[in-house]
Amino acid sequence: MPRRLPRLPAARIRLALGLVLLGPAWLHAAAPAAAPAPKPSFEEWSLFFLEGKPCGYGSTITTPITTPHGTEYRTELQQQFVVKRLGVALKMTEVSHVTERADGAVLAFDQLSSGMGSSIEMRGVRQGDDLVVSSRGQVQRYHLPTLAALGPEAIRRQVDALPLKAGTPFTLNTFTTDYPRAVVVESGTVAGLEDHTVRGVTRKLWKISSETPVMPGILSVTWVDPQNNDVETDVDIPGLGRMAQIVATRAECMKQPEGAEIFAGSLIAPQRALTDLPNQAQAVYRLTTSAGSPKLELWNEGEQHVLKSEPGLSEVEVTVPTWTAQDATYTLPHAVTRELRPYLRPSAYLESGSPIIRRLARQAVGGETNPVRAAQRIERFVEFYITKKDLNIGFASAEETARSREGDCTEHAVLCAAIGRAAGLPTRCVLGLGYIPPGETRPVISNAVDARTGIFGFHMWAEAMVGPDRWVPMDAALGGFDIGHIAILKSALADIDPMVDLNLPILQLMENLHVTVLKTVRRQELAPAARPTDAPTPLLQAPATLPAVTAPPSPPPHPPAPASSEID
Q: For residues 332 and 257, state if they share a domain.
A: no
pLDDT given at position 9: 42
How sure is the predictor about 342, in pLDDT bands with cuts at 50, 70 and 90?
very high
- Highest-confidence range of 248-252, 389-393, 504-508, by mean pLDDT? 248-252
Contact 518, 28 (CB under 8 A): no
Q: For residues 217 and 326, state if they share a domain.
A: no
Q: Tell me the angle at which helices 371-385 and 409-422 cross, rounded to the nearest 10 degrees.
A: 140
If one counts every other C-beta atom within 10 angstroms of the C-beta of residue 64, the result is: 15
pLDDT digits (tens, 9 = 90+) for 415-425: 999 999 999 99
pLDDT given at position 527: 62
Q: For residues 260 and 333, state if they share a domain.
A: no
Domain membership flag for residue 284: no
What pTM does this model have?
A: 0.83
What average pLDDT does the structure give for the chain?
84
How sure is the predictor about 92, in pLDDT bands with cuts at 50, 70 and 90?
confident
Domain membership flag for residue 248: yes
pLDDT digits (tens, 9 = 90+) for 475-504: 999 999 999 999 999 999 998 888 777 777
Residues 6 or more apart whose Cβ sits within 8 Å of residue 67: none
Which of 455, 485, 501 terminates a domain? The answer is 501
458 CB burial (10 A radius; 0-12, 13-18, 19+)? buried
- Checking if the pLDDT of 252 tops 60, the result is yes
Q: For residues 235 and 330, state if they share a domain.
A: no
How sure is the predictor about 563, in pLDDT bands with cuts at 50, 70 and 90?
very low
Q: For residues 157 and 252, state if they share a domain.
A: yes
What percent of the chain has pLDDT above 90? 61
Separation of alpha carbons 544 and 62, rounded Å: 52
Residue 373 is part of a domain; what is its CATH number?
3.10.620.30
**Which among 454, 473, 297, 295 has a CA at the least distance from the CA of 376?**
473
pLDDT digits (tens, 9 = 90+) for 282-314: 999 999 987 666 678 899 999 999 999 988 899
Q: For residues 203 and 55, state if they share a domain.
A: yes
Please tell me the total count of domains within the chain.
2
Q: For residues 99-104, give the mean pLDDT.
A: 96
Q: For residues 40-49, give the mean pLDDT.
A: 95
Backbone phi, psi, residue 390, to 5°: -150, -175
Using CA atoms, how far residue 148 sits from 139, 496, 519, in Å, is 21, 21, 51
Q: For residues 228 and 335, state if they share a domain.
A: no
Backbone phi, psi, residue 156, to 5°: -60, -40
Domain membership flag for residue 526: no
Q: For residues 242 and 339, state if they share a domain.
A: no
Separation of alpha carbons 223 and 390, rounded Å: 40
Backbone phi, psi, residue 129, to 5°: -95, 15
Which of 446, 475, 501 terminates a domain? The answer is 501
Domain extent for 21: 10-264
Which of 217, 246, 264 terminates a domain? The answer is 264
Peptide bond into 333 cis (omega under 30): yes
Q: For residues 121 and 241, state if they share a domain.
A: yes
